[in-house]
Amino acid sequence: MVAAVCGAAAPWVPDAWAGGKKSMGSGSDALARAVQEIEASVGGRLGVALLDMATGRQRAHRGDERFPLCSTFKLVLAAHVLRRVDQGQERLDRRITYGKSDLMEYSPATERHVGGDGMTVEQLCEAAVTLSDNTAANLLLGTQGGPLGLTAWLRSLGDSQTRLDRMEPALNDVPPGEVRDTTTPRAMARTVWAVTQGEALSSAARAQMLAWLVGNRTGDRRLRAGMPEGWRIGEKTGTGPRGTSNDIGLFWPPDRGAVMVSCYLTGSPAPAEQRDAALARVGALAARWALEGTAPAAKG
């Protein structure tokens, strides 16, 4: 299904999702109304996509509308690094050195290692995913052909929507109507599935990807906050100007397969705390929706 990563593009979209245009807001059910109420409570546009591959269930609200990626692109960035490791084009233990001039705003890990031996590729990936370190992301982008190289890899996976055009921090400036540095909730949910549950990466690389996502330290007040206690969740957040707060990833209900979730909020006049709370409410809705299914436990 994901053979395209090795050559010419080939369909990889899960059969359960292919061609699906169902809108969470198209019906009168409680889930649709609840998502619309959350959107109304904070203003702006709220895009949500849910994908339960074990049951074939999927729902979306504004699933095919474009939203700013912001730092959610770092999930795909780390996955591309792991793909290059799988192919023998990169090593996780390779060190990358950098100077003070390379530091971007918000670089909690890389700012401690300026000069000297720098950081390994693995350390940079961990910093980019778990801490959303901007310098780490730029350094990694420089190893894989920049934003265009990352976008090309997404196209080889079958993701025709997600695109990265600029580096940090410019990529966060996405005014209404801009297509650069954007994705759609539906496309991102598919891509999260491909790099964590599908065949885009080796089993060892998928395990590493999941470890980074589960170890995320920036999303405690977003989707994770709405999940029942004890549930496992892996996520990558994104935050930008113009009232933008995002969170994407996957979660595991007890004794169930993983469920993909992507949540993008932009154009909201609400303060950051209220936007976080809105995403937490989406997390709670996603958990309830998942429990309606009958997905078997995932292997491994």
SS3 readout for 187-251:
HHHHHHHHHHCCCCCCHHHHHHHHHHHHCCCCCCCCHHHHCCCCCEEEEEEEEECCCEEEEEEEE
Burial 131-159 (b: 16+ CB within 10 A, else e): bbbbbbbbbbbebbeebeebbebbebbbb
- pTM of this prediction exceeds 0.75: yes
| Spatial separation of the C-alpha atoms in residues 119 and 112, rounded to whole Å | 10
| Spatial separation of the C-alpha atoms in residues 149 and 141, rounded to whole Å | 8
User: Domain spans of the chain?
Assistant: 27-293
The set of residues, in sequence order, having a beta carbon less than 8 Å from that of 103 and lying 6+ positions away, is 110, 111, 114, 135
pLDDT tens for each residue of the chain, 300 residues long: 233 333 333 333 444 444 444 455 443 378 888 999 999 999 999 999 999 988 889 999 999 999 999 999 999 999 999 999 999 999 999 999 999 999 999 999 999 999 889 999 999 999 999 999 999 999 999 999 999 999 999 999 999 999 999 999 999 999 999 999 999 999 999 999 999 999 999 999 999 999 999 999 999 999 999 999 999 999 999 999 999 999 999 999 998 899 999 999 999 999 999 999 999 999 999 999 999 875 444 433
- Does 71 qualify as catalytic in the annotation? yes
Residue 62: name the closest of 79, 38, 91, 93 by CA.
Answer: 38
What is the fold of 27-293?
A: Beta-lactamase (3.40.710)
pLDDT of residue 32: 84
Q: Structure tokens of 299?
A: 């292997």
Q: Structure tokens of 148?
A: 């265009």
pLDDT of residue 129: 99
Whether residue 41 contacts residue 278, with contact meaning beta carbons closer than 8 Å, is answered with yes
Whether residue 252 contacts residue 220, with contact meaning beta carbons closer than 8 Å, is answered with no
Burial 273-288 (b: 16+ CB within 10 A, else e): eebbbbbbbbbbbbbe
Could you please report the per-residue DSSP string of 268-280? --S-HHHHHHHHH
Whether residue 128 contacts residue 70, with contact meaning beta carbons closer than 8 Å, is answered with no
Options 26, 41, 71, 156, the catalytic residue: 71
pLDDT of residue 115: 87
Q: Structure tokens of 48?
A: 């949500």
Instruction: Reduce the DSSP state of residue 60 to 3 states and report it.
Output: strand
